[in-house]
Chain A
Amino acid sequence: MGERLTTSTLLVTEEDEKKHEIIRAKGEGKELTKEEKQRLRKEKKQHKKNKKDDRGPPEKEKEKEKASVPAPSKPATQSPAHKAAPVPVNASASESPVAAEKPAKSKAELRAERRARQDSERASKQGKKEGGQQSTSSKPKATPNELQPVVKRLPDHVQVDDPVALKKLAKKLERQQKSGQGCSLNITGVKVPLRSDYGYKVSLFSHLHQYSRKNPPTQQISIPVTVIHPSIVRLGLQYSQGIIAGSNARSVALLHAFKQVIQDYSTPPNEELSRDLVNKLSPYISFLSQCRPLSASMGNAIKYIKKEISNIPSQCKEEEAKRILQECIDSYINEKIILASEAISKYAIEKISDGDVILVYGCSSLVNHILCEAFEKQRKFRVIVVDSRPRLEGREALRRLVKKGIRCTYVLISALSYILPEVSKVFLGAHALLANGYVMSRVGTSQIALVAKAYNVPVLVCCETYKFCERVQTDSFVSNELDDPDDLIVTRNGKTHLENWQTVKSLGLLNLVYDVTPPDFVDLVITDLGMIPCTSVPVVLRVKNVDQ
């Protein structure tokens, strides 16, 4: 223990010297070398950590046992890029509410043990940072044969009923106003706004957010916006008002907005593009998830971009790096979305024969594309479009199909049992495919699959592989999205029954956006890799991970 103390003090003195050097160098106007930049960064982080540790010790004294378990696991599971600072906050915030138990040890011993642990944490974190800067070979767990303990952090948008989590989110949003600044600029109260919930939430869903479309998150943002890029603000507004809807459209819009951001980005001095750009993107992503929770496709796209950014070699010039990133984004859109839909149409058209009556639900860009292609290839079929309140997206699909010249019928979902005896196939789109084979899609899809199964009509789901996600889910409650409850209100014959639903205390309106379909209702999934059964999703995920 004694040795440890001295080496840490030694380290500190060494760094003090280096700091003087750096300050001298700055004063002389020389550009800092890479090592010096790294050192500066490390010092900043250690400084912050020391401050928090000084605050932390008096609380931590009683909870050492419990502290020792979560603390080392937390750095292991979080990416070093932009979670380093919040780690000590998380640790202390989650530990302090834990009940205190007095171990029978002396104060000096406790303090020494604590310091030793912190040193080891610091060392491991530095080691991780060194490793993370280099290319990707170390990052994704090399062989898929390893079974890692997947202690993933629960996403914020399903922790609305936990006040601790909400406080953390608020703090994180506040902190993000200062991130990416480098030298301090004077910001006047601009921060990523925290949207508040609207209306009475059904108790089964109190863990989810419920926003109103009439209170867009941009109301609290002042102009000019220093933290959030204007194209991101516009995108967020388009999401929250429902102007851009549908997982493909949202992902493509997101990627285009990021292209704009990268175009306008300039690396501040003393920073590296690969690290700083990723940090810059965090407040944008928080803002977008406040506007509307991120979809699985958007999540995958963001992961891809972050990976590409952090893969930029550090000796790359800025212009070159930007060009590379723009190309990456373009190729992603082209491969994963456009070419994928071509491939899926090719497979799907084999499944459409003459004289078919095809049932589709809502507006899926992929399914519409398939039907239009099939019609161009002279297949004779007619389409039944099923729609549901309150979104009535089927009307959009109806317009597109009718414009093409396809014969269509239109019903609401309550008339499904009436229309299904005429149907020969059902084509459904998906929002995401979960790792246990469940299909997450627009609410009502599971109902269609259920009734189709009862009438023995085959159900085919069309989904690109970039929408596959590693989450698992068995019901539609745990992770979902609640839309504006006022959408359910309707006026018929001059009477609006639910007009004053807020005043009636025992009345709640539930407007779900997604639901999950069990795999036994789905007969086939058509992806760009081929036609697979629902249960082969984890195989595809594994293959994709190995490729990357």
Chain B
Amino acid sequence: EIHEPEEVSVWFREGSSCCQETLARNQRFTETPVNMPGADKETDLSERIESFLSELKRCGSGAGSLRGSAETARETTALLRRITAQARWGNAGELMEIIRKEGRRMTAAQPSETTVGNMIRRVLKIIREEYARSRGSSEETDQQESLHKLLTSGGSSEDNFRQHFTHLKANVIEAINELLTELEGTTDNISMQALEHIHSNEVIMTIGRSRTVEAFLKDAARKRKFHVIVAECAPFCQGHEMATSLCKEDIETTVIPDAAIFAVMSRVNKVIIGTQTVLANGGLRAVNGTHTLALAAKHHSTPLIVCAPMFKLSPQFPNEEDTFHKFVSPHEVLPFTEGEILSKVNAHCPVFDYVPPELITLFISNIGGNAPSYIYRLMSELYHPEDHEL
């Protein structure tokens, strides 16, 4: 899709590619006759970005369609590919600037959906790599900051991104396509490892609903017989859905209320959970109730296994208190039918829990099994340190 949008260049020299201005221009565009084929692409792109943003804003409250993180990651990457293909940019630096700007808006729309930010950082890293390869400058060692490099290079790499390469666009888009293929295969990669971790006649405990864990357990159930105990995870009770879905594969499932987690933990052999995000220190931001589950597992020395694909790994640390927690309406907890006491009571309904890395035994991801202490290393392979702050 490489083409020189010369016709459109007239339009866009007037200002930056801020989408709100393009929106205003779209309105004007509808009034003037359609004689600029290139303009379609731009408005199309901005429309898509806007619709993506509004979906992100909606899905957080549970009102819109609840999508899994894999879907979000895929859509984000597809959108980034489209931006690369259709937006106006002359060199890698401009492209990165565009992507960063869009990325900031996307993460602001839904701060708790960290996969969006993760994909943006992955794409930025891809751009850097492709640029470096096009320049012919050696290699991957360029990325790593050794003390030697710091002393000798001295010059920042920022002005390095100003060169124009004709094939950069194609390369970047190809690399993004590879990333998309990788994303599509993550769940299968993780479930393929199931038989290495589950033996027969085990009792496995899980909480809430995670599509990764579901696929993991279903894959193991094809060859082995085991029991699953699902904690329902109030107030959303997604454990119920998980249980009915597991039963379809004839897995012996039991649903327990959250209060019974410690009571039944003594009979559980393994705890396998999914998570929303894996933080930079190896800790988790998972659905509420997971910290209790992890403490109970630690008390009984039961291994805690987290099934998380690599796109959930985020360079954030858990200490940013104001951005870590997300709350939903307290009427889930104390419904409006309890009207007379509602006004005198504070009710909280947090969505996430922090689980420190000491409580986790193993991470299973699409690149294999890792201990929590190795997470920092994986991060340095996936993201460039300068991209940690978008």
The one of B232, B325, B334 in contact with A488, judged by C-beta atoms closer than 8 angstroms, is: B232
Q: How far is the CA of A402 from the CA of B345 in the complex (A)?
A: 8
Name the segment of A166-174, A185-193, A406-414 touching the other chain. A406-414
**Which chain B residue shows the least CB distance to A200?**
B254
B interface footprint on A175-211 (CB within 8 Å = 1, 0 otherwise): 0000000000000000000000000001010000000
Name the segment of A61-69, A303-311, A510-518 touching the other chain. A510-518
Write out the residue numbers on chain A whose beta carbons fall within 8 Å of the beta carbon of B125.
none
Q: How far is the CA of A408 from the CA of B252 in the complex (A)?
A: 41
Min CB distance A194 to B, Å, is 27
**Chain A 236-264 interface residues, beta-carbon cutoff 8 Å to B:** none
Given the interface pairs A475-B266, A507-B253, the reply to whether A410 lies near B350 with Cβ below 8 Å is no
Name the segment of B149-157, B292-300, B366-374 touching the other chain. B292-300
Write out the residue numbers on chain A whose beta carbons fall within 8 Å of the beta carbon of B288.
414-415, 417-418
Contact between B260 and A512 (Cβ–Cβ < 8 Å)?
A: yes
Contact between A413 and B259 (Cβ–Cβ < 8 Å)?
A: yes
Q: Is A390 an interface residue (CB 8 A)?
A: yes
Q: How far is the CA of A281 from the CA of B333 in the complex (A)?
A: 44
Q: How far is the CA of A508 from the CA of B264 in the complex (A)?
A: 14
A interface footprint on B207-236 (CB within 8 Å = 1, 0 otherwise): 000000000000000000000000011111
Q: Is B255 an interface residue (CB 8 A)?
A: yes
Given the interface pairs A497-B244, A507-B247, the reply to whether A413 lies near B258 with Cβ below 8 Å is yes
Contact between B255 and A447 (Cβ–Cβ < 8 Å)?
A: no
Q: Is A419 an interface residue (CB 8 A)?
A: yes
Of B240, B259, B349, most buried by chain A (CB within 10 Å of CB) is B259
The one of B252, B262, B346, B354 in contact with A446, judged by C-beta atoms closer than 8 angstroms, is: B262
Contact between B259 and A408 (Cβ–Cβ < 8 Å)?
A: no
Min CB distance B274 to A, Å, is 16
Write out the residue numbers on chain A whose beta carbons fall within 8 Å of the beta carbon of B257.
388-390, 443, 488, 511
Q: Is B256 an interface residue (CB 8 A)?
A: yes
Q: Is B338 an interface residue (CB 8 A)?
A: yes
Q: How far is the CA of A506 from the CA of B243 in the complex (A)?
A: 10
The one of A395, A409, A515 in contact with B263, judged by C-beta atoms closer than 8 angstroms, is: A515
Write out the residue numbers on chain A whose beta carbons fall within 8 Å of the beta carbon of B267.
204, 477
**Chain A 428-466 interface residues, beta-carbon cutoff 8 Å to B:** 442-444, 446-447, 450-451, 454
B interface footprint on A462-499 (CB within 8 Å = 1, 0 otherwise): 00000000000001110000000000101010000110
Contact between A414 and B345 (Cβ–Cβ < 8 Å)?
A: no
Given the interface pairs A398-B341, A507-B244, the reply to whether A515 lies near B262 with Cβ below 8 Å is yes
Q: Is A399 an interface residue (CB 8 A)?
A: yes
Contact between B254 and A508 (Cβ–Cβ < 8 Å)?
A: yes
Q: Is B99 an interface residue (CB 8 A)?
A: no
**Chain B 343-384 interface residues, beta-carbon cutoff 8 Å to A:** 344-350, 353-354
Q: Is A509 an interface residue (CB 8 A)?
A: yes
Write out the residue numbers on chain A whose beta carbons fall within 8 Å of the beta carbon of B292.
413-414, 416-417, 447, 450-451
Min CB distance A417 to B, Å, is 4
Write out the residue numbers on chain B whose beta carbons fall within 8 Å of the beta carbon of A516.
263
Contact between B240 and A497 (Cβ–Cβ < 8 Å)?
A: yes
Of A407, A507, A515, most buried by chain B (CB within 10 Å of CB) is A507
Contact between B338 and A497 (Cβ–Cβ < 8 Å)?
A: no
Min CB distance B344 to A, Å, is 5
Write out the residue numbers on chain A whose beta carbons fall within 8 Å of the beta carbon of B254.
202, 507-510
Contact between B253 and A447 (Cβ–Cβ < 8 Å)?
A: no
The one of A419, A488, A504 in contact with B247, judged by C-beta atoms closer than 8 angstroms, is: A504
Contact between B344 and A402 (Cβ–Cβ < 8 Å)?
A: yes
Min CB distance A18 to B, Å, is 59
Q: Is B82 an interface residue (CB 8 A)?
A: no
Contact between B261 and A411 (Cβ–Cβ < 8 Å)?
A: no
Write out the residue numbers on chain B whose beta carbons fall within 8 Å of the beta carbon of A413.
234, 258-259, 289, 292
Min CB distance A489 to B, Å, is 8
Min CB distance B206 to A, Å, is 14
Q: Is B305 an interface residue (CB 8 A)?
A: no
**Which chain A residue shows the least CB distance to B235?**
A412
Min CB distance A64 to B, Å, is 42
Write out the residue numbers on chain B whose beta carbons fall within 8 Å of the beta carbon of A442.
259
Q: How far is the CA of A204 from the CA of B267 in the complex (A)?
A: 9
Q: How far is the CA of A476 from the CA of B243 in the complex (A)?
A: 23
**Which chain A residue shows the least CB distance to B241?**
A497
Write out the residue numbers on chain B whose beta carbons fall within 8 Å of the beta carbon of A409.
345-348
Write out the residue numbers on chain B whose beta carbons fall within 8 Å of the beta carbon of A204.
264, 267
**Which chain B residue shows the least CB distance to A487?**
B257
Q: Is B251 an interface residue (CB 8 A)?
A: yes
Write out the residue numbers on chain B whose beta carbons fall within 8 Å of the beta carbon of A512.
256, 260, 263-264
Q: Is B41 an interface residue (CB 8 A)?
A: no
Contact between A506 and B251 (Cβ–Cβ < 8 Å)?
A: yes
**Which chain B residue shows the least CB distance to A514?**
B263
Q: How far is the CA of A395 from the CA of B235 in the complex (A)?
A: 15
Contact between A388 and B234 (Cβ–Cβ < 8 Å)?
A: yes
Contact between B345 and A398 (Cβ–Cβ < 8 Å)?
A: yes
Q: Is B237 an interface residue (CB 8 A)?
A: yes
Given the interface pairs A395-B338, A417-B292, A498-B244, the reply to whether A488 lies near B255 with Cβ below 8 Å is yes
Given the interface pairs A202-B254, A511-B257, the reply to whether A408 lies near B263 with Cβ below 8 Å is no
Write out the residue numbers on chain B whose beta carbons fall within 8 Å of the beta carbon of A416.
291-292
Q: How far is the CA of A204 from the CA of B265 in the complex (A)?
A: 12
Contact between B255 and A498 (Cβ–Cβ < 8 Å)?
A: yes
B interface footprint on A387-405 (CB within 8 Å = 1, 0 otherwise): 0111000010011001000
Q: How far is the CA of A509 from the CA of B232 in the complex (A)?
A: 10
**Chain B 16-61 interface residues, beta-carbon cutoff 8 Å to A:** none
Write out the residue numbers on chain A whose beta carbons fall within 8 Å of the beta carbon of B295.
450-451, 454
Contact between B264 and A509 (Cβ–Cβ < 8 Å)?
A: no
Write out the residue numbers on chain B whose beta carbons fall within 8 Å of the beta carbon of A477.
266-267
Q: How far is the CA of A450 from the CA of B265 in the complex (A)?
A: 12
Given the interface pairs A408-B344, A504-B244, the reply to whether A450 lies near B232 with Cβ below 8 Å is no
Given the interface pairs A504-B247, A508-B254, the reply to whether A417 lies near B291 with Cβ below 8 Å is yes
Min CB distance A204 to B, Å, is 6
Q: Is B250 an interface residue (CB 8 A)?
A: yes
Q: How far is the CA of A399 from the CA of B344 in the complex (A)?
A: 10
**Which chain A residue shows the least CB distance to B253?**
A507
Min CB distance A218 to B, Å, is 28
Min CB distance B300 to A, Å, is 10
Write out the residue numbers on chain A whose beta carbons fall within 8 Å of the beta carbon of B346.
408-410
Min CB distance B41 to A, Å, is 39
**Which chain B residue shows the least CB distance to A444?**
B259
Min CB distance A476 to B, Å, is 4
**Which chain A residue shows the least CB distance to B63?**
A493
Query: What would 15 A/B residue contacts be, using CB atoms closer than 8 Å?
Result: A388-B257, A398-B345, A402-B341, A407-B344, A414-B235, A414-B292, A418-B353, A447-B259, A447-B296, A451-B295, A497-B240, A507-B253, A508-B252, A515-B260, A516-B263
The 8 tightest CB contacts between A and B, nearest first, are A444-B259, A414-B289, A417-B291, A388-B259, A515-B263, A497-B240, A476-B263, A447-B262
**A residues at B contact (CB < 8 Å):** 202, 204, 388-390, 395, 398-399, 402, 407-419, 442-444, 446-447, 450-451, 454, 475-477, 488, 490, 492, 497-498, 504, 506-512, 515-516
A408-B346, A409-B345, A477-B266 given; name 8 further pairs at CB < 8 Å: A390-B257, A402-B341, A411-B333, A414-B292, A415-B349, A417-B292, A450-B296, A451-B291
